[in-house]
Amino acid sequence: MTKMSDLPRDLTEEVLCRLPVTSLRAARFTCKKWNTFSTNRSFTKKHIGEAKAAAKKKHKKEFQVVMVLEHKVYLCSVNLISTSIQRIGELVSLDVAYRINISKIFHCDGLLLCITNDINSRLVVWNPYCGQTRWIQPLKSYHRRDKYALGYDSCRSYKILRFIDSYDGIWRRQKRLIREFEIFDIKSNSWKVFDVTPDWTIESYHRGLSLKGNTYWFAQEKLQVPCGTVVSDIADFLLCFDFTTERFGPRLPLPSHCFIDDTVTLSSVRDEQLAVLFQRWDTLEMKIWVTTKIEPNAVSWSKFLAVDMKPLTGFQFDINAGSFLIDEKKKVAVVVDKNKAIKENRYKSTRNIAYIIGKKGYFREVDLGETTDATCYPLVCSYVPSSVQIKQASPQGNHNTP
């Protein structure tokens, strides 16, 4: 009887090339020969090329995304014709090995920066296609209010930005300013500290979006006001961190101004354009804009969609959630959040929902499953498989264990 490991090279390649991303990792454990072959540069290039060609061919019907649901990360297929979202597979295997839950993810060039749902958050860079992981040990320690970004410089060297500019402590006497800005270079396995005195602020629920190697945030002007002062309107703008210069860029104009309680969130379009969603807290009007030009020091916008959400949902997308994607050809947006059923005179969420929204009142809901954790909001981001190899730390660094 012929063993699978004894198959000729061309037949082995044909078999493995037909496997989806979520199945390839399991196939690697079948035998050493398959593991070595499937991680070969020429094979990964061919496999990803065929995957992209297949995805492009059927893009008229569906596309793939990565979602975080109840602290687990899934590869999902979105079909806008049948208005269905199917889980293709669970990408994260970390929770099996280390019993780890994920709170946030950041996507850049096929790599995911995952933030663990621990009291003291931990970071792991992960390539779902190759099955590689790299735990990132802090320079000193991580903080629960840290903000992160994943990007790369002009030499395609991947880096992580960690920063915090916040007061710690609950009581006034205990409050102290923590201001730390650090960059981790994955290739050199080293942290670098740099000085920044920001005149801007980024709220904890505003996640950075990586595009063309750089990361963008929705930011607001930092105001020096007495404690207890109520501020209803603050200047807002787009802010970019350039991983080549390792500096924050100038304030970039947004297509619309928002107020304190409005929902604002960012998304990407094929890693070429940036999209921004605004929703007013009072009228529930939602507008989405897409960039026609985007650089660290320049941006221009075009309106994509404007919809009155009051007759469709009757509620505002949560400022902590509301992550979204758009389909330019079909002129629809897919926003993921929780449902908000009114029970006992207050909103209560019981399900994770994807809201598919288009022009002329087009509206569909897709149930993504039960929500059991009130603090875990569903997140969605685009994903394209990548053969990028994550450089591992030296054994002395002990950076591969959580």
Superfamily, domain 58-382? Kelch-type beta propeller (2.120.10.80)
DSSP string, 140-202: S---TT-EEEEEE-TT--EEEEEEEEEEE-SSGGG-EEEEEEEEEETTTTEEEE-----SEE-
Query: Per-residue pLDDT for 401 more than 50?
Result: no
Higher pLDDT among residues 145 and 298, named by residue? 298
Q: Are 183 and 161 in contact (CB under 8 A)?
A: yes
* Cα separation, 190 vs 183, whole angstroms: 8
Q: Are 368 and 382 in contact (CB under 8 A)?
A: no
Q: Token pair 């007061």 is at which residue?
A: 167
Instruction: Count H helices and E strands in the chain, helices first.
Output: 5, 27
Q: Which two tokens stand for residue 150?
A: 């994943």
**What pLDDT does residue 9 have?**
62
- Tens of pLDDT, residues 83-125: 999 998 887 555 444 567 888 899 999 899 999 887 777 899 9
**What pLDDT does residue 107 have?**
92
Query: Per-residue pLDDT for 372 more than 70?
Result: yes
- Tens of pLDDT, residues 320-360: 777 999 998 889 999 999 998 765 556 678 899 999 999 99
Residue among 62, 64, 57 nearest 21 (CA): 64
Higher pLDDT among residues 386 and 41, named by residue? 386
Q: Tell me if the pTM is above 0.85.
A: no
Q: Token pair 């749902």 is at which residue?
A: 117
* DSSP helix/strand/coil, 73: strand
Q: Give the pLDDT band (50/70/90) at residue 171.
A: low
**What pLDDT does residue 398 have?**
42
Higher pLDDT among residues 223 and 274, named by residue? 274
Q: Are 254 and 239 in contact (CB under 8 A)?
A: no
Listed range (39-53, 318-332, 354-368) with the worst mean pLDDT? 39-53
Laid out side by side, the sheet with 132-136 consists of 102-108, 111-116, 123-127, 132-136
Query: Per-residue pLDDT for 78 more than 60?
Result: yes
* Cα separation, 33 vs 245, whole angstroms: 42
* Cα separation, 174 vs 101, whole angstroms: 31
Q: For the chain, what percent of residues have pLDDT higher than 70?
A: 75
Burial code of 22-49, b = ≥16 C-beta within 10 A, e = fewer? bebbebbeeeeebeebbbeeebbeebbe
Residue 136 Cα distances to 73, 165, 183, angstroms: 19, 21, 12
CATH 2.120.10.80 residue ranges in the chain? 58-382
